[in-house]
Structure 1
Amino acid sequence: MSAITRHGTHPRLPVSNAVEANGWLYVTGQVPRDENGELLAGNMTAQARLTLNNLVKVVTESGYEMKDVVRVGVWIDDPRDFADFNKVFAEFFDIEHAPARVTVQGSMVCDCKIEIDAIAYKES
């Protein structure tokens, strides 16, 4: 039987920030919330950067590195923001360690422009 480790919790919901099992790390969708839990108002560039910084924080606090990220799921509310998002995404992932990615348009549950989840893997 494999061990399952939960990393961090949501302050108001029964959700872990990430769950690790057999070398796989599943990161919950991150949004542009600051350290006080407030959503960042602003353009896609600012929201994408904060969302990706939040993703980096969860990944690294769980003992992984961004180069371990193998898949990213991205939801954006306005497809016209796709190019701005891609510019910011390239700041966090280089070509050598680029994950597989899906990007779709979606209605956000909270008042933001973007949500990103991820799956990472590293050998034990």
Structure 2
Amino acid sequence: MVRTVINPWEWQNELGYVQAVEVKEVKSTLYISGQAAVNPDGSSSNADMRTQFQLAVKNLETVISQAGYECKDIVRLTIYSTSSKEFMSTCIDLLKDFARNHEMKQSLTLLEVVGLNETMNVELEATAAK
């Protein structure tokens, strides 16, 4: 696979994402359903957003690994949150660490939504390619 990052500016680098990712000669693509703070037994977390984000990341890592991919293969990440303001104030450092630790260069969208399933307040949807 050939991956090209398009970043006309530098400010987004501090936030842990890129403006665009072009992929060519892709061997396989993985479309990952929204991963939220669901415990291994299937129960939903009642925790705060930061704790839920940590569990959602762990679940995303598990799905990607089980599929034979790595987090650095993520080319697109969409974050659904019940409060963008709360996400930016309590979770952005975790997002930056997640991206940096896995050497990710993904496009990113953060969307505020009215609600998510059950007690969820953050959900991650991703596309990975290799």
For the pair 1:67 / 2:75, whether they are aligned, the reply is no
Partner amino acid, structure 2, of 1:32: A
1:110 lines up with 2:115 in the alignment: no
Residue deviations 1:5-26, cap 9 Å, x none? xxxxxxxxxxxxxxxx951000
Cα drift, residue 82 of structure 1:
2.1
Aligned to 2:93: 87
TM-score when normalising by structure 1: 0.76
1:9 match: none
Unaligned runs of 5+ in 2: 1-25
Which of structures 1 and 2 has the larger relative contact order (alpha carbons within 8 angstroms, sep 6+)? 2
One-letter amino acid of the structure 2 residue matched with residue 103 of structure 1: L
Q: CA RMSD in A?
A: 1.7
Deviation at 1:109, TM superposition (A): 2.9
Structure 1 alignment gaps of length 5 or more: 1-20
Distance apart, 1:85 and its partner CA: 2.0
Match of 2:16 in 1: none
- Among 98, 101, 111, the alignment partner of 2:108 is 101
Match in the other structure for 1:50: 55
How far off its partner does 1:80 sit? Answer: 2.2
CA distance in 2, matches of 1:110, 1:40: 9
CA distance in 2, matches of 1:109, 1:66: 24
TM-score, normalised on structure 2?
A: 0.72
> Which residue in the other structure is 1:34 paired with?
39
In 2, Cα distance between equivalents of 1:22 and 1:28: 20
Give the whole-Å Cα distance in 2 for the aligned partners of 1:28 and 1:74: 12
Q: What residue in structure 2 maps to residue 12 of structure 1?
A: none
Percent of pairs with identical residues? 25
Distance 1:75 1:114 in 2: 6
Aligned residues: 102
Q: Which amino acid aligns with 1:28?
A: S
**Cα displacement (A) at 1:89:** 1.2
Q: Do 2:45 and 2:119's aligned partners in 1 also have CA atoms closer than 8 Å? A: no
